[in-house]
A and B are shown apart, each in its own frame.
Chain A
Amino acid sequence: MRLLIATLLALVGSSISAQDLLGDLRDQGLGFAQVTPGQSLQFPRDHAAHPEYRIEWWYLTANLSDQEGRQWGLQWTLFRQALSPQQVEAGWQSNQMWMAHAAITTPGGHYHEQRFARGGIGQAGVNRISEDGHFNAWMDDWEWKSTSAGLFPASLRFSIGEREVVLLLESTGELVANGIDGYSQKSAQGQASYYYSQPHIRVRGFVNQGLEKTDLTGKGWLDREWSSQALADNQQGWDWFSLHLDDGYKLMVYQLRHDDGEHWLSGNWISPQGETRLLGSDAINLTSTRSVEISTGANQSRELPMEWKLTLVQQKRSWRIRPLYEQQWMDTRFPYWEGVVLVEDENGAPSGVGYMELTGYQ
């Protein structure tokens, strides 16, 4: 469940306020292909775009450190949207729209960039596996280029302003299907998406900032999701976490906040060996412990929950989650907070790193 749904669906809306945009997210997506249970994911086919669905994304986050041990974070996302149910993919009249986001959390500050492009003319896209046998996702000179039909091993190049990022990505484990075999339910009313992840990515690379080159290594997390509808009527926004724990476990948890306080919680508990356990609302205890006023632009601020307590009931484990630093606001067309978080166990000892995403806060 990622923010981009909102951002790109904003494209469809004639409305302006974020509340209204979320309203568009609740659109039933009539005429588009629908997400149904019992469809098994197939690879490499499903790495490529699904233009018959309304929204789709390729979403990478990475927690990295430099040679001095300082924490860095990277985020790179390619987002696709179909503007109409009619399938017109090629040429200027293509109904496919692309957006890309990139952000970098450095010891010196947080930077981001967004881009847009229309489909059909080759400026942005994710190629069909059949074309040259290699997975390739790009917008202008931002590019994910795999040496195989799968997603990995791959190189990823992008830039944020004058900062240039070059990464080598290798998977160290299997892909993980979220929900039930990749069918991820988003509400009791039946909203759902196809959703798989690769939480086991070894990342090596460097960032050029002017004349200064910094080598980085660390762990990445890729999310792939597509759907034609997303939020239920009573859902305001969401809080999403992807955590790399020091003991080798990976944890994905999200909370869709409901008007009545009965939030929809879901997650995936992934062992170092790649075994997954679907977590339902009863299995997760997520509470915010501290809210902070974050500056979101000139003379503007929003109050956001910056520190959280997360408990997995069955696993009897509990963590405190706080941001590396608070100013990781994404001042994009649909603004939200996303950035590097640090994980501590009950005793306050560092026990992991990850990414947090907060949307729908006014």
Chain B
Amino acid sequence: MIKALLSHYWRHPWQTLFLGIGLVAGVALWSAVQIINQHAEDSYRQAQSLLGAQAHYWIRSRRDEGIDPDTYIRLRREGFRQLFPLIELEVSTAQGTSISIIATDLLALPGDSFDAGDSTREFSQTWLNFIQPPYRAWVPAVLAQELGLEPGEQLELRDGRRLPPALIQARAQQGRRVLMDIGAAVALSGQDRFSYLAVGSIAPHRFDLLAASLPDHLELIENQQHVDLRELTQSLHSHLTAMSLLSFAVGLFIVFNAVRFSLWYRRSTLLNLRLMGCDNRLLALAILLETLVWSLLGSGFGFAIGVLLAQLLLPSLGASLQSLYDAVVEINLGLSPWTLLQAWCISLFGLLWALAWPLYRQLRHSSFEAARSENLLADETRVRHWLALAGLLLAAVATIAYGRIETVTGGFVVLGLVLFAAAWLLPVMLAAGLRLLACLLPARLLLARWMVSDGWSQLPAFRSAMMALLLALTANLGVGSLVDSFRSAFVGWLEVRQSADIYLRAPQVSHEQLLDLAADGNWLADSHHRIGVSTRWRNRPTLVRGIDPTAPDSLTLPLSRWQGDSAGAALQSWREQADKVLINEQVHFLAGVEVGDHVSLDGDRGSRDYEVVGVFYDYGNPYFQFYLPDQVVAKQWKHYHSRGIALWLNPDNEAAMQQAEASMRALGAQPGDWIARAQIRRLSVGIFDRTFAITAAMNLLTMLVAAIALLASLLAILQERLPQFAQWRALGLRQSEQLLLVATPLLIFCGIVWLLSIPLGALLSWILIHKLNIISFGWSMPLIWEIAPALRLALVIGLICGLTLLLVAFQWRRQMPLALAQLGETV
């Protein structure tokens, strides 16, 4: 009996393939994201470790001046062997790619962490090479590939320096960074101070001793990264999950479609089986078994492809997480059987809904319904109306829920409601479109009217494929517009915010010295020394910045909201009164602070209240940020860091850049300590684009799945209606006319779907930008809507249609002769 049921799949390999592809594609996209999210989460959990050693605390200079090696040796000799030194450097390659370097003394890593990342217990030549000149730069394989770096090659930096010979190797928690010996980093940077010390697992009494042993200018900070990272990146991962669920849904539409087809063909089989005495219970069991087999196949292959996909997507996501959140994501993928189990559950659930349930319904009705095929059109109308009703209901729920969105998940639920409401309303819209066109066509164009009216026959088969297409198009346009809006807001903001020509970050160079030196030449037009304090506010990492209120970039600070009549007036009151503060949008949206509110900030000299007079844009920053005049910060905080000096060059002096560089070098800054505006912009935009690379990839894949749905539907139509087509051939229809007959409704449907996707995409990006983005990341931006992406998509749809029609024509050539010969035979 099972054989009889399943024989359908052998006889229609195309549809079997489509069912498989739909399921596998859906599961693959879903599990790829799941694997990536899981993997990232695992990496965050490891944030209490660094390079395979535990790092529960950091020891940092309060003034960001680094740590003297003598202090480190003294602490080691006092028995604090949990300490190990780290140097972090940012360098640019000759090609302008920014890379992070992390350096440590592997021999000093506490405890057994020694072994982490090494397969053998022994030291090896690898280690000796690592710690001895000319040293080695351990480069993770993915990074090496991106940089085109061969083993043994010495990567050239922008300023001509070279990294040690490359070894394609990585330690735990190295992420996308280049690891080298601390001796190598000292040689490379020309300064021997450590960026910070990490403290491994330490007993409470030893911790107290350590705290007491630290000199005044150093502070012991708990490593809360694992908590922070999870919180900061949560939104990003929710976004990805939502996109993957959408892909899964689109995949399910294909399954649904294939099942509809299989029902059509198995009606008689089911009827025969029942007539032969199989009872319903047995048949239900068989159907369940079929579902189980499909779910196993789907989740197995889907997961495998998902793993490959995740491997492809991980590097760029890892890079983004590192540059945006300082989150080190392991480059090598770890897989958990739990994810596989989840993949199986979700595919089983999807199949129960899309395969088992329709089959079961068919089974219960097959005895009397089989004969009433002429009622199909009426049935179809009923289904359409029910769907529309359900769609309207969803839309109503979405409208009500829209005002109440408070969490990221809630936002995505509303998005899902909107999308599915649209999808379920689609059949009615398609029908309306057909009706409208039929009215518009003059009566004498009989053939044209016929081709349009044939849409009614194709509509049932296309229903789910068109819904899938609508979802894919809408997502594509909506997310595309989100990214475009963000990009343009971001680039515009960079233009205003990063207006200085050079940004110098070198603790050894003081602002005064630089000004003294600049006074002799005429290269410097203006400068801005910014100071800051890293702290926590409402338990989130927070920056309090002291900025010079009269510096050029402070005067033009772009505000999104302000107190009083104008942004200028708000800035002026902030400049002139010591109890005013500017907050970033993140503080406004995520912590709910309004203009006019008072916030309390804890300084070294006690806590103080400030009145919020303005909110500034702060794109890409996951942290809270407060701007105070530098005088106020210097007064309220004993220990503040220099956050670098911004330099505006004299535009009339052509040699200003060279003179500036010479001056900075003269004061002890190394090339790499400063960065020019053009470069910072290139880097920022690079990071931005990389962040959204995964979005683009997911969009593309979802489109692909929708294209497959389209193809599957067309081929199903071909199979179902072949006898009909043969009849029309007998009436003298030309092959081209016949193709037109199939193409016309297809193009009409696709056209309607495309037209609908434009406003729907706009709605989607509206919700994404005005609700989700604000809840997730805490920043706002104007929505930018352009027609070009929609036109591009129209072209893509046209291509997909053309391709599928070509395939249909090819199939016809093969199958039509037999269909013609069988014409007139009684069924």
Is any CB of A less than 8 Å from a CB of B in the complex? yes
Taking A10-B123, A83-B128, A93-B133 as contacts, is the C-beta distance between A141 and B78 under 8 angstroms?
A: yes
B107 an interface residue at 8 Å Cβ cutoff?
A: yes
Which residues of the other chain, A, contact B133 by a CB distance below 8 angstroms? 88, 93
- Assembled-state Cα–Cα distance A143/B183 (Å): 25
| Listed stretches B69-77, B477-485, B631-639; interface member | B69-77
Q: In the assembled complex, how far is the CB of residue A147 from the closest CB belonging to chain B, in whole angstroms?
A: 19
A121 an interface residue at 8 Å Cβ cutoff?
A: yes
Q: In the assembled complex, how far is the CB of residue B670 from the closest CB belonging to chain A, in whole angstroms?
A: 17
Which residues of the other chain, A, contact B123 by a CB distance below 8 angstroms? 10-11, 333
Q: Is the CB of B186 within 8 A of A92?
A: yes
Q: In the assembled complex, how far is the CB of residue B183 from the closest CB belonging to chain A, in whole angstroms?
A: 3
**Of all chain B residues, which has the CB nearest A117?**
B107
- Interface of chain B, main secondary structure: helix
Q: Is the CB of A140 within 8 A of B120?
A: no
Taking A84-B132, A333-B122 as contacts, is the C-beta distance between A141 and B79 under 8 angstroms?
A: yes
Of residues 105 to 157 in B, which have CB atoms within 8 Å of A's CB atoms? 105, 107-108, 114, 120-128, 131-133
CB < 8 Å: which of B70, B79, B125, B181 contacts A14? B125
* Among A21, A118, A141, residue most surrounded by chain B Cβ atoms (within 10 Å): A118
Q: Is the CB of A118 within 8 A of B120?
A: no
A123 an interface residue at 8 Å Cβ cutoff?
A: yes
- Assembled-state Cα–Cα distance A14/B124 (Å): 5
- Assembled-state Cα–Cα distance A117/B76 (Å): 11
B312 an interface residue at 8 Å Cβ cutoff?
A: no
Q: In the assembled complex, how far is the CB of residue A100 from the closest CB belonging to chain B, in whole angstroms?
A: 12
Which residues of the other chain, A, contact B107 by a CB distance below 8 angstroms? 97, 116-118
**Of all chain A residues, which has the CB nearest B125?**
A14
Taking A92-B183, A93-B183, A118-B105 as contacts, is the C-beta distance between A16 and B73 under 8 angstroms?
A: no
Which residues of the other chain, B, contact A141 by a CB distance below 8 angstroms? 76-79, 81
Of residues 1 to 52 in A, which have CB atoms within 8 Å of B's CB atoms? 10-14, 16, 21
- Assembled-state Cα–Cα distance A93/B120 (Å): 25
- Assembled-state Cα–Cα distance A68/B79 (Å): 31
A138 an interface residue at 8 Å Cβ cutoff?
A: yes
**Of all chain A residues, which has the CB nearest B74?**
A122
Q: In the assembled complex, how far is the CB of residue A101 from the closest CB belonging to chain B, in whole angstroms?
A: 15
Q: Is the CB of B121 within 8 A of A333?
A: yes
Which residues of the other chain, B, contact A21 by a CB distance below 8 angstroms? 122
B447 an interface residue at 8 Å Cβ cutoff?
A: no
B314 an interface residue at 8 Å Cβ cutoff?
A: no
A228 an interface residue at 8 Å Cβ cutoff?
A: no
- Assembled-state Cα–Cα distance A11/B125 (Å): 7
- Assembled-state Cα–Cα distance A247/B133 (Å): 54
**Of all chain B residues, which has the CB nearest A17?**
B122
Q: Is the CB of B187 within 8 A of A11?
A: no
Q: Is the CB of A95 within 8 A of B132?
A: yes
Which residues of the other chain, A, contact B125 by a CB distance below 8 angstroms? 12-14
Q: Is the CB of B73 within 8 A of A118?
A: no
Of residues 296 to 353 in B, which have CB atoms within 8 Å of A's CB atoms? none
Q: Is the CB of A123 within 8 A of B73?
A: yes
B182 an interface residue at 8 Å Cβ cutoff?
A: yes
Taking A14-B125, A140-B76 as contacts, is the C-beta distance between A93 and B187 under 8 angstroms?
A: yes
* Among A13, A88, A140, residue most surrounded by chain B Cβ atoms (within 10 Å): A140
CB < 8 Å: which of A83, A88, A93, A140 contacts B79? A140
**Of all chain A residues, which has the CB nearest B121?**
A333
* Among B122, B124, B126, B187, residue most surrounded by chain A Cβ atoms (within 10 Å): B122
Q: Is the CB of A140 within 8 A of B122?
A: no
Taking A92-B183, A123-B108 as contacts, is the C-beta distance between A140 and B124 under 8 angstroms?
A: no
- Assembled-state Cα–Cα distance A123/B704 (Å): 60
Which residues of the other chain, B, contact A84 by a CB distance below 8 angstroms? 132
Q: Is the CB of A121 within 8 A of B128?
A: no
CB < 8 Å: which of A93, A118, A121 contacts B69? A121
Q: Is the CB of B128 within 8 A of A92?
A: no
Q: Is the CB of B132 within 8 A of A93?
A: yes
* Among A83, A88, A93, residue most surrounded by chain B Cβ atoms (within 10 Å): A93
Q: In the assembled complex, how far is the CB of residue A111 from the closest CB belonging to chain B, in whole angstroms?
A: 15
Which residues of the other chain, A, contact B70 by a CB distance below 8 angstroms? 122
Which residues of the other chain, A, contact B108 by a CB distance below 8 angstroms? 117-118, 123
Which residues of the other chain, A, contact B127 by a CB distance below 8 angstroms? 11
Which residues of the other chain, A, contact B76 by a CB distance below 8 angstroms? 123, 140-141
Which residues of the other chain, A, contact B182 by a CB distance below 8 angstroms? 92
Which residues of the other chain, A, contact B77 by a CB distance below 8 angstroms? 122-123, 138, 140-141, 143
**Of all chain B residues, which has the CB nearest A120?**
B183
Contact digits for A67-109, partner B, Cβ 8 Å, 1 yes 0 no: 0000000000000000110001001110101000000000000
- Assembled-state Cα–Cα distance A95/B76 (Å): 20
Taking A10-B123, A121-B69, A123-B76 as contacts, is the C-beta distance between A140 and B81 under 8 angstroms?
A: yes
Q: In the assembled complex, how far is the CB of residue A271 from the closest CB belonging to chain B, in whole angstroms?
A: 41
Taking A92-B186, A138-B77, A141-B77 as contacts, is the C-beta distance between A118 and B122 under 8 angstroms?
A: no
**Of all chain A residues, which has the CB nearest B184?**
A92
Which residues of the other chain, B, contact A143 by a CB distance below 8 angstroms? 77
* Among A12, A83, A92, A115, residue most surrounded by chain B Cβ atoms (within 10 Å): A92
Q: In the assembled complex, how far is the CB of residue A32 from the closest CB belonging to chain B, in whole angstroms?
A: 15
Of residues 699 to 736 in B, which have CB atoms within 8 Å of A's CB atoms? none
Given contacts A16-B124, A117-B108, A141-B81, 19 further A-B contacts (CB under 8 A): A12-B128, A84-B132, A88-B133, A92-B181, A92-B183, A93-B133, A95-B132, A115-B81, A116-B114, A117-B107, A118-B105, A118-B107, A121-B73, A122-B73, A123-B73, A140-B79, A141-B79, A159-B79, A334-B122
Q: List 22 A-B contacts (CB under 8 A).
A: A10-B122, A11-B123, A11-B128, A13-B124, A14-B124, A84-B132, A88-B133, A92-B186, A92-B192, A93-B183, A93-B187, A97-B107, A117-B107, A118-B107, A118-B108, A118-B131, A123-B73, A123-B76, A140-B77, A143-B77, A333-B122, A333-B123
* A-B interface, 8 closest residue pairs, ranked by CB to CB distance from nearest: A92-B183, A14-B125, A141-B79, A116-B107, A122-B73, A11-B123, A140-B76, A93-B133
* Residues of chain B having any CB pair with chain A under 8 Å: 69-70, 73, 76-79, 81, 105, 107-108, 114, 120-128, 131-133, 181-183, 186-187, 192
